[in-house]
Chain A
Amino acid sequence: MTDIVDPAAIRQAAAEVQAAHQHFAETRGKMAEAIPGEHLMGGYGKTGAYCANLNKFTHAFDDVLGQFLAEEDKFVQFLQNFHDRLQQAADSYTQNEAQTTQVFSNIARTLDANEE
């Protein structure tokens, strides 16, 4: 069975993946600012035990959101790689097509020359 290749459609798919990559990279960047750090820490050190107990939540939240973000990084990177592969495939097929066309053109020119 002959494979079907529509470089324009692949290029269109690559563009969609690229748009998704840009969007989710942006939301990932915004979400990174939801890492609490010192935003949720209170007290001025006079009552260390209570401060430390309350801050346990901040540390746990930092940790788990950080894990989410690490996976977001992989997700965003996947979209970037997927876009690159699609784009390369489309370019490769187009290049092959151009080379094939060139070959046929050369053959045609040779034949034309022979006829003359």
Chain B
Amino acid sequence: MGEWNPPEDAGGPVEYLDPVFKNGNAPRFHGMVKRLAETEGTSMLGNCPPDPIYADIWGIDVLGPDDGEVRAGQVIESSGWNEYSILAGSARKNPEPDLTVEQFFYHADVLSGQDIGVARGHHNQIRTGVEIESGGWAADAIDRIQTARAWVPGRPADDPGTSFTIWTDLLNHLGYNSSFWTDKWTGDASVAAQDSFEALRRWYGEDVEDHFRSWGLGQLAKTLAAFAAVIHGARLNLDNLMGACVEQVKAWNRGEEQSPFADTGVAWAALSAVVGLAGKQVGRFDVPGLTLDLLNLLFAEMESSKKLNANGCYTILANYLTEADKILDEASKAASGLVDDVHTIRSSFTRLPE
């Protein structure tokens, strides 16, 4: 019995998915599920089905397997059988399939469309971690917020940024202790102008480490990076799950009893690991202009693995859906945690005086 290799299929529900899936494991996963869903053309033509099926064997001279899952190319020595799609988990009593091809791609659909960058090509590979080549709209937005910050901790002293230079020059010229208010302009109008500027200075801040734009905007940018990391991580998990599912089914088809991922598992991002990071100093995370590095730093925080164990083809497929649901549950929880982070940041920074 040779290796069962259903053709890849990048159409149908895969067509509009994010490139991370289309250029990853979704086409081979789709091709496999489609073949498992279709039994037309295999029925009763021989005793070696070209694709795995569920067979209801009714012949009296059964020498092959009892009712149940039959591997591709496996000989069924019987005078006849009724066959159903492997996806028809309820085929034993009701030939209506209880799994559909499309529902295997609902999860990927939810994780498609967020403009958070492009992952490195990984056609038919189970990745060991997230590597992105560009940060998309999210990286651009993070950079824009970072640029607006007057001071970014960790930035080289000889390159503090335009906002910092302009603001500190203004403070030096018009700040509370500036000689401008004693040597160049005094009197009632001068005092009124000085008080007005001082009120703004207190809001905008003079301490480079702790004022509105440095802290508030910096932390906000972190939550955006963390959200991007959550989506990238969820995509990694799901794409790896697709690839692992194909390899698990193939291993089952070869007659292997143990799942190839039962012991070592697959690379898996712990999505909740980035929640709460916005309030902490995370080393290089505070360096501007390195959004991809920042994301990679977050991915390192999320590093984990997932062991997959399943017996039987239908169980492997059903487990895929269960695990995919869990990925979205965890992504949802992580997103909710980041919402809390965002609100904490907002309530922590100084309000502009009226």
Contacts and interface: CB of A to CB of B under 8 A. Distances in A.
A42 B113 contact: yes
A57 B335 contact: yes
A89 B257 CA distance: 88
Contact of A6 (B141, B185, B328): B185
A60 B335 CA distance: 10
B352 interface: yes
Given A23-B162, A44-B16, A50-B110, A16 B335 contact: no
Contacts of A46: 106, 109
Interface residues of A, number: 49
Nearest to A43: B110
Contacts, number: 165
A56 B197 CA distance: 38
Interface string A37-53: 00111111011001101
Nearest to A79: B200
Interface string A70-107: 01101100100010011001000000000000000000
Interface in B197-247: 197, 200, 203-204, 212, 216-217, 220, 223-224, 227, 231
Interface of B: 16, 18, 106-107, 109-116, 137-138, 140-142, 144-145, 147-148, 162-163, 166-167, 169-170, 173-174, 180, 182-187, 189-190, 193, 196-197, 200, 203-204, 212, 216-217, 220, 223-224, 227, 231, 328, 331-332, 335-336, 338-339, 342-343, 345-346, 351-352
Interface of A: 3-6, 9-10, 13, 16-17, 19-20, 23-24, 27-28, 30-31, 33-34, 36, 39-44, 46-47, 50-51, 53-54, 56-57, 60-61, 64-65, 67-68, 71-72, 74-75, 78, 82, 85-86, 89
